[in-house]
Amino acid sequence: MAAVYVAGVGMTKFGKSSQTLVELFCEAATSALSASPIQEVDALYIGAMNPEEFTGESNIAAQVADALGISGLPALRVETASSAGAAALHAACHAVASGYYRRVLVLGGEKMTHLSTSAATRILAEVIEQQERQCGATMPALAAMITERYRKRYRLSRSHLQRVLCLVAIKNHLNGSRNPYAQFQQPITEEAYLSSKLVSTPLRLYDCSPITDGAAAVILTAEKTEVVISGLGQATGPVGLRERKSFTSFRATRIAAERAYRMAGISPKEIDFAEVHDAFTPFEIISTEDLGFFPAGKGWRAAEEGKTAIEGELPINPSGGLKSRGHPVGASGVAQVVEVVRRLRGEAEAKLKREPSRALAQSTGGLGTNNLVTILERSERPQAQNPWAPAPARSKPLQRQKSAPASVSEEGRIETFTILYVTPDGFLPPLALALIRDRAGQLIMAQGEDVSHLKIGREVYLRQLDGSYVFTVKSHLLKVREALKQLLRRLPSLPAGGKRPRSRKES
Amino acid sequence: MAAVYVAGVGMTKFGKSSQTLVELFCEAATSALSASPIQEVDALYIGAMNPEEFTGESNIAAQVADALGISGLPALRVETASSAGAAALHAACHAVASGYYRRVLVLGGEKMTHLSTSAATRILAEVIEQQERQCGATMPALAAMITERYRKRYRLSRSHLQRVLCLVAIKNHLNGSRNPYAQFQQPITEEAYLSSKLVSTPLRLYDCSPITDGAAAVILTAEKTEVVISGLGQATGPVGLRERKSFTSFRATRIAAERAYRMAGISPKEIDFAEVHDAFTPFEIISTEDLGFFPAGKGWRAAEEGKTAIEGELPINPSGGLKSRGHPVGASGVAQVVEVVRRLRGEAEAKLKREPSRALAQSTGGLGTNNLVTILERSERPQAQNPWAPAPARSKPLQRQKSAPASVSEEGRIETFTILYVTPDGFLPPLALALIRDRAGQLIMAQGEDVSHLKIGREVYLRQLDGSYVFTVKSHLLKVREALKQLLRRLPSLPAGGKRPRSRKES
């Protein structure tokens, strides 16, 4: 089993591009090869989430090999939703470690900006569990519901939470403003953040990573270079929100990180900086907890205290992250590694407080459903004899009886909620969405009849409507009923001999 | 580097299914696990071509892990168009060989029959190069053009070619009739073949594999079992027909096979039987040549002489092949390996003349653009110390200037052609399509103005129309002109003082 090294990295500028997806891949590949001692490769691994629907292209691996003039070489595409780039990198590492290939070109990329926001949102939402999607849930809506739950669990006031998220956004935009490859090159102010539109309460536009075109490239080799890949870990998590034990942590990140640390033989304390998947600002905070950098529920405080700033004790997303560098979904997992390698080599623009020697990249597929962690380090440290960890704990496949919410009881309680302002096609904003726990303990995603009176823990009535679920807050209903009763009492009594007797006869 | 063994195989019945894609995957996995000594796995690898467009599902790997009740384990999807299943298997082999995983569940699957033929054809056609797709070319149309070229090159008459293709179809349907997992369970007659409708000349319905639902599963392990994977090879080829040096052979299959034979340390003569990608009957013949079983141009004769029949000297597709077993695109590469393992273990229904100990599976992505070869054998033979071949010859990526057919000359010659009777949406049948070589030596796909007078080598006029190309056969045009001239000569001469002088004045 061979160790796997990085021989070269490169990427396109992220943003809105007039190039085709294949051209973006070629540009990233060329930039990595031109800066690498290795010019020839044995195989091509591509990470892309959904070129079929984003650009109408199928067979992308053969197309890119063809365009690069290396048709004849093996080429394949790996997909794990928005972490596809990282998954392609890991699969390529396995191939190099097996000895089957010695040099592999890994590309990640996506082309998205030519589509309308609603079209891109719809495609991205296909990763969401079906019942939740049917209610109109989008990725920002689910992220918002997780955020509301985090706020409640760790007792942050709404304004305090907003201040923390704003600090993360400001930090990442500041970092991105120093990164020539970033989509957004300008720092943002607190005023700009606060005046940005609400996407899904409590998340604003500046809490969400943008829609982006771009590609990134990493050349892997079995021959020693100055940067080695020392830890790899991957894990999946339940697709539906309603099947999770925790809404404030991603179990897939925790398992993936534990595997990567074990393989690298280190603890989270030995990481000098990290690129994490901040598709939404609260996810950066949750990731820093799941990765073991800060205890659960303390990530927000670390962000507030500046620990994760570029000059802090553990810089997070010194490149600007997905938030500011941009998020061409299939590219992000590879781009994170490009940024890490540049910084480990001392090539990044803005410097950290101390010269880093070891870093981590964390990529998320879907709503934390397929996450990968990669640890890279300067290769001065002698590598372990066998850099590959023993196989992780095995699991026995056991086809589950899906907890089909068929017999949902008619009452329940709000576990978390959001008001979605940027809705997918077919849903009018504002759209109240909540995860309801019914009397039997089942979780059901449902649309609210009204956007007011929403609060975690509130009792609701639930009913089925067109295959989906609708909820009404009880206290709201009780209040309405009370108001109506009072109104009735104040009305003059009806004259005797009204319509009632006649209608009785008719029936 | 560890050797990789097969611990268990399983598959769904192929055909039209009422199950969802995720349910098909689960059924295949359960059937493989229930028949395997291994019940627990370290990771899940999935091959699927296009669940995004076939079924509207994204994030399929996490979804299947979730449904299998193994959420938490790593899961990824691999895609190389219609060879996706084989590519997933190869990537999983690398992971086991690297030591990172010891036991991996590999699944291949696709759900297609719920779509109309024209919708499925459109999705499948996305693998085709853009300019060729714009002319209305489908997979059967391109396969037909390759077949016509093969016929011409190896001097087969039309009726002779038809007889050979018919023999391949009859053989594969006979084999499939003995395979309980096959979509078609009935043998076919020559009459049925000849009366089946023309899809794209010279290919009939019975020359084309069907649209199918299904999934297949293989469990890989580093622990010794009775079947070992001894050879792996993959290669890409140019996407466009117009960029190929040969139309009668797939270079990608040749390179992939050469790599697999080298790794296994054997020659083609040592293969006892093979499952090859007969998406179209002529492709079975071409594959037997590309795999080195028969010399180029002699595959048709081997088929005619019964050498590839189940009782022949080198049985090809004893399972019925894609033709009769069915072709759920992402499943086929895995299903081939399932069939091979069953037969190597002596579990297949119909027996070969002699007990096989070594077999080959060949899978094709797109129109021969991403092909894989897998060699499996009974593991009695001691394995080589290092079963992994040295890395194949490297290639230097060099971004190609796409030979944009911008300045196409106005005359050319037909390289190959077809008349397409089952056209994609927006094109009316019958549609004449030809690959034209222009005066400058460039190849251009073009639509014919007329379906008559088509022949390889014929001179044509070419013109651009709405971003596509249209050709007219010269001899046809000359004949028309001659006929018009004769008609003119027979007409009584016009009276003097016609309209000509007046119109001249006006101009």
Please write the tens of the pLDDT for every residue from B66-75.
999 999 999 9
Structure token digits, residue B150: 């093969």
Average pLDDT over residues A85-105: 97
| Mean pLDDT value of segment A296-320 | 98
CB B239 within 8 A of CB A66: yes
Nearest CA in chain B to A396: B40
At B482 the pLDDT is: 84
> How is domain A411-486 classified at the architecture level of CATH?
Beta Barrel (2.40)
Identity of the residue numbered B388 = W
Mutation for testing the B interface, residue in A26, A53, A79 having most B CBs under 10 Å:
A79
Residues of chain A with CATH 2.40.50.840: 411-486
Mean residue pLDDT across chain B: 91
Q: Kindly tell me if the per-residue pLDDT of A256 is higher than 80.
A: yes
First to last CA, chain A: 85
H or E segment to which residue B151 belongs: helix B139-153
**Residue B210 or B449, more confident:** B210
Closest alpha carbon within chain A to B105: A397
Neighbour tally for B472: CB within 10 Å: 16
Q: Is the CB of residue B465 less than 8 Å from the CB of residue B428?
A: no
Residues of chain B with C-beta less than 8 angstroms from the C-beta of A252: 72
Question: Least CB-CB distance to B392: which of A42, A81, A126?
Answer: A42
Nearest alpha carbon to residue B256 among B86, B139, B82: B86
Question: Which pLDDT band, with edges at 50, 70 and 90, does B504 fall under?
Answer: very low
> Higher confidence at residue B175 or residue B496?
B175
- CA–CA gap between residue B174 and residue B171 (Å, rounded): 5
Q: Would you say A393 and B72 are in contact if contact means Cβ atoms under 8 Å apart?
A: no
Which tens digit of pLDDT belongs to each residue from A56-75? 989 999 999 999 999 999 99
d(CA B492, CA A246): 94
Q: What is the C-alpha separation between A377 and A359, in angstroms, rounded?
A: 6
Q: How many CB atoms lie within 10 A of CB B196?
A: 17
Domain at B411-490, CATH from 2.40.50.840, 2.60.120.260, 3.40.50.300, 2.30.30.100: 2.40.50.840
List, for residues B281-300, the tens digit of each pLDDT value. 999 999 999 999 999 999 99
Q: From the candidates B22, B221, B236, B398, which should be mutated to test the interface with A, based on the most A CB atoms within 10 A?
A: B236
Alpha carbon distance A294, B205 (integer Å): 63
CATH 2.40.50.840 domain extents, chain B: 411-490
- pLDDT of residue A116 exceeding 60: yes
Do the chains contact at B126 and A59, CB–CB below 8 Å? yes
* Per-residue confidence (pLDDT) for residue B505, from 0 to 100: 45
Q: Is the pLDDT of residue A328 over 80?
A: yes
Q: What pLDDT does residue A488 have?
A: 84
Cα–Cα distances (Å) from B377 to B70, B227, B352, B355, B357, in that order, read 30, 6, 16, 12, 6
Q: Is residue B1 predicted with pLDDT exceeding 70?
A: no
Q: What is the mean pLDDT of residues A220-238?
A: 96
Among A335, A376, A61, A105, CA closest to A221: A105
Q: What residue has token string 């709404």? A: A158
Task: Tell me what the mean pLDDT of segment B56-80 comes to.
Answer: 95
pLDDT over threshold 90, residue B182:
yes
Residue A60: predicted pLDDT: 97
Q: Do A251 and B72 touch (CB under 8 A)?
A: yes
Share of chain A above pLDDT 90, in %: 79
pLDDT digits over B412-426, tens only? 999 999 999 988 888
| Mean pLDDT value across residues A395-412 | 71
From the list A59, A369, A397, the residue facing B105 with the nearest CB is A397
Task: Decide: B359 and B352 in contact? Cβ < 8 Å.
Answer: no
Find the mean pLDDT for residues A202-222. Answer: 97
Contact call for residues B108 and A39 (beta carbons, < 8 A): no
- Which of B68, B95, B365 has the CB atom closest to A59's CB atom? B365
Max Cα-Cα span within chain A: 100
If 0-12 CB within 10 Å is exposed, 13-18 middle and 19+ buried, where does residue A155 land? exposed
CA nearest A22: which of A32, A12, A35?
Answer: A12
- Work out the percent of chain B whose per-residue pLDDT is above 90: 79
Distance from the Cα of A293 to chain B's closest Cα (Å) equals: 21
Position B467 scores a pLDDT of 78
Distance CA A439, CA A149 (A): 20
pLDDT at B496: 56
For testing the chain A interface, which of B1, B30, B98 should be mutated: the one with the most A CBs within 10 Å?
A: B98
pLDDT value at position B408? Answer: 83
A:163-222 residues touching chain B, CB 8 A cutoff: none
**Shortest alpha-carbon distance between residue B271 and chain A (Å):** 22
B240 chain-A contacts, CB cut-off 8 A: 66
d(CA A372, CA A80): 10
Contact B397 A238 (CB under 8 A): no
Q: Are residues B322 and B110 in contact, defined by beta-carbon separation less than 8 angstroms?
A: no
Min Cα–Cα distance to chain B from A401, Å? 8
**Coil/strand/helix, residue A233:** strand
Q: Residue B44's pLDDT band (boundaries 50, 70, 90)?
A: very high
More confident position, B480 or B220: B220
Global pTM value: 0.92
Spatial separation of the C-alpha atoms in residues B410 and A256, rounded to whole Å: 60
**A498 pLDDT exceeds 50?**
no
Write the pLDDT tens digit of every residue in B158-181: 999 999 999 999 999 999 999 999
CA separation, residue A491 to residues A365, A495, A496, A501, B465 (Å) = 59, 12, 15, 21, 78
Q: What is the pLDDT of residue B392?
A: 54
Within 8 A by CB and 6+ apart from B191, the residues are none
pLDDT of residue A349: 80
Tell me how close the Cα of A12 comes to any Cα of chain B, in angstroms: 15
- Mean predicted confidence (pLDDT) in B211-232: 97
DSSP-based three-state secondary structure for A338: helix
What is the three-class DSSP state of B346? coil
pLDDT of residue B250: 97
Among B172, B34, B12, smallest CA distance to B108 is for B12
Identity of the amino acid at B155: R
Write the CA distances from B50 to A45, A49, B53, B60, B141, integer angstroms.
18, 11, 6, 10, 21
Residue A223 — pLDDT band, cuts 50, 70, 90? very high
Whether the predicted pLDDT of B506 surpasses 50: no
Per-residue pLDDT tens for A6-59? 999 999 999 999 999 999 999 999 999 998 999 899 999 999 999 999 999 899
Assess whether the previous peptide bond of B202 is cis (omega < 30° from 0).
Answer: yes
Beta bridge partners of B105: B44, B219
Report the distance separating Cα A59 and Cα B7, nearest Å. 31
Rounded Cα–Cα distance for residues A367 and B206 (Å)? 45
B41 and A370 within 8 Å at the Cβ level: the answer is no
By mean pLDDT, which of A155-169, A397-411, B85-99, B471-485 is the weakest? A397-411
All residues of chain B having their beta carbon less than 8 Å from the beta carbon of residue A256 are: 74
The H-assigned helical ranges of B367-498 are: 474-490
Backbone angles phi, psi at B25, to 5 degrees: -60, -45
A74 preceded by cis ω (within 30°)?
Answer: no
Does B402 reach chain A within 8 Å, measured CB to CB?
yes
A454 within 8 A of A432, measured Cβ to Cβ: yes
A238 vs B: CB within 8 A? yes
The gap from C-alpha A461 to its chain's centroid, in whole angstroms, comes to 32
pLDDT reported for residue A490: 83
Confidence band, pLDDT 50/70/90 cuts, at residue B396: confident
Q: Do A237 and B71 touch (CB under 8 A)?
A: yes
Q: pLDDT value at position B385?
A: 47
Among A88, A115, A375, A56, smallest CA distance to B61 is for: A88
Which of A27, A77, A100, A142 to mutate to probe the B interface, most B CBs <10 Å? A100
A83 near B CB under 8 A:
no
Of B389, B451, B380, B445, the C-alpha closest to B415 is B445
Q: Indicate the residue type of A239.
A: V
- Band (A390; pLDDT cuts 50, 70, 90): very low
For the segment(s) B4-115+206-378, the CATH number from 3.20.20.100, 3.40.47.10, 3.30.200.20, 3.40.50.300 is 3.40.47.10
Per-residue tokens: A47: 């990470």
Q: How many CA atoms lie within 13 A of A81 on its CB side?
A: 30
Instruction: Specify the higher pLDDT residue, B386 or B411.
Output: B411
Confidence of residue B507 (pLDDT cuts 50, 70, 90): very low
Q: Measured between alpha carbons, how far is B75 from A79 in angstroms, rounded to an integer?
A: 10
Amino acid B503: pLDDT:
43
- CA angle A262-A267-A269, nearest 5°? 160
B108 touches chain A (CB under 8 A): no
Query: Which is nearest to B407 in space by CA: B457, B446, B464?
Result: B464
User: Can you give the pLDDT at residue A142?
Assistant: 96
Q: How far is B257 from chain A (nearest CA, A)?
A: 12
Tell me the mean pLDDT in the region B390-407: 61
Per the DSSP assignment, residues forming a β-bridge with A460 are A412, A473
Provide the CA A307 distance to its chain's centre, in angstroms: 22
Subunit contact B98:A1, Cβ cutoff 8 A: yes
- The pLDDT confidence band at residue A129, using thresholds 50, 70 and 90, is very high
Do the Cβ atoms of B239 and A59 come within 8 Å?
yes
Is 50 exceeded by the pLDDT of residue B37?
yes
Give B91's contacts in chain A (Cβ within 8 Å).
76, 78, 91, 94-95
pLDDT at B80: 98
The torsion angles phi and psi of B394, rounded to 5 degrees, stand at -85, 160
A295: left (phi over 0), alpha (psi -120 to 50) or beta: beta
The shortest C-alpha distance from B469 to chain A (Å) reads: 22
Start and end residues for every CATH 3.40.47.10 domain found in chain A = 4-115+206-378
B370–A398 CB contact, under 8 Å: no
Q: Does A7 touch chain B (CB under 8 A)?
A: no
Contact B479, B462 (CB under 8 A): no
Nearest to A33 among B40, B63, B397 (CB): B397
**Complex confidence, ipTM:** 0.92
B131: amino acid identity, one letter: Q
Q: Within B12-59, where are the H helices?
A: 21-34, 51-55
DSSP label of A15: B
Please check the confidence at residue B460 and state whether its pLDDT lies above 90. Answer: yes
Least confident of A226-235, A291-300, B120-129, B144-153: B120-129
- Helices A84-98 and A329-344, axial angle in degrees (round to 10): 60
Query: Contact at 8 Å (CB) between B236 and A42?
Result: no
The sign one gets for the Cα dihedral A38, A44, A48, A53 is: positive
**Residues A115-126: what's their mean pLDDT?**
91
Beta strands of A188-346 (E only): which ranges? 198-200, 203-204, 214-221, 227-236, 273-275
**Mean pLDDT within B328-349:** 96
SS3 string, B214-281, reads EEEEEEEECCCCCEEEEEEEEEECCCCHHHCCCCCCCHHHHHHHHHHHHHHCCCHHHCCEEECCCCEH
CB pairs < 8 Å spanning A and B = 281
